[in-house]
């Protein structure tokens, strides 16, 4: 199958992306790596009027230390985590688990944010995030909110993310 017709938007920043989400709400979907969303679009299980491709938004791909925490940006590719010496040193569970995400081509395109936002409880990253009691930063036009996995993952493939 092929996806239904949609308007394609490509913001260059997080601010521009959340502006689009605020404007289009439930009529919009975020695309990062596309490994979860594209199959849903192709099967027409999701038919957004607007597709907001954040793949080139500045400043959303990183792996860094912040005090005792390891902080990973939403657009960080699985492969970057797999190859990261910092992840191997500071978070061996994540380093081991990331090898089991799909296959190499999936890890080259798939993103942390996409995997977490998809909310599949059988996926590696939501499981690791929950096991390590990590946190999720959610952005909207009013700023950012930090939530626990228990607050974020509501049920199977349903998260607390709002349309905006």
In the numeric block, the tokens 């959610």 are attached to 138
> How far is Cα 29 from Cα 106, in angstroms, rounded to an integer?
20
Q: Is 2 among the domain residues? A: no
On whether both 92 and 44 belong to a single domain, the answer is no
Q: Is 12 among the domain residues? A: yes
In the numeric block, the tokens 């920043």 are attached to 13
Residue 10: its pLDDT value, please? 98
Domain count, the chain: 2
Q: Is 123 among the domain residues? A: yes
Q: Write the CA distances from 28 to 40, 95, 158, integer angstroms.
A: 14, 33, 16
Nearest Cα neighbor of 110 from 39, 58, 48, 22 is 39
> What is the per-residue pLDDT across 9-22, written as a single tens digit (0 to 9) for each?
999 999 999 999 99
Instruction: Give the range of the structural domain holding residue 153, as residue numbers without chain letter.
Output: 63-159
Residue 18: its pLDDT value, please? 97
On whether both 72 and 139 belong to a single domain, the answer is yes
SS (H, E, C) the chain: CCCCCCEEECCCCHHHHHHHHHHHHHHEEEECCCCCHHHHHHCCCCCCCEEEECCCCCCCCCEEEECCEEEECCCCEHHHHHHCHHHHHHCHHHHHHHCCCCCHHHHHHCEHHHHHHHCCCCCHHHHHHHHCCCCEEEEECCEEEEECHHHHEEECCEECCCCC
On whether both 71 and 40 belong to a single domain, the answer is no
Residue 1 binned pLDDT confidence (cut-offs 50, 70, 90): confident
């Amino acid at each position: 199958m092929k996806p239904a017709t949609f308007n394609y938007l490509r913001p260059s920043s997080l601010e521009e992306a959340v502006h689009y989400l605020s404007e289009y709400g439930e009529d919009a979907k975020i695309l990062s790596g596309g490994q979860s969303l594209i199959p849903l679009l192709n099967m027409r299980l999701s038919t957004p009027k607007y597709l907001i491709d954040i793949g080139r938004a500045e400043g959303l791909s990183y792996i860094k230390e912040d005090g005792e925490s390891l902080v990973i940006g939403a657009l960080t590719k699985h492969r970057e985590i797999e190859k990261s010496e910092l992840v191997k040193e500071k978070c061996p569970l994540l380093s081991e688990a990331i090898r089991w995400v799909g296959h190499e081509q999936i890890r080259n395109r798939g993103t942390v944010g996409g995997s977490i936002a998809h909310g599949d409880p059988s996926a590696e990253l939501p499981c690791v995030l929950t096991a390590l009691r990590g946190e999720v930063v959610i952005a909207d036009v009013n700023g950012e909110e930090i939530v626990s996995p228990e607050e974020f993952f509501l049920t199977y493939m349903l998260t607390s993310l709002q349309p905006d």
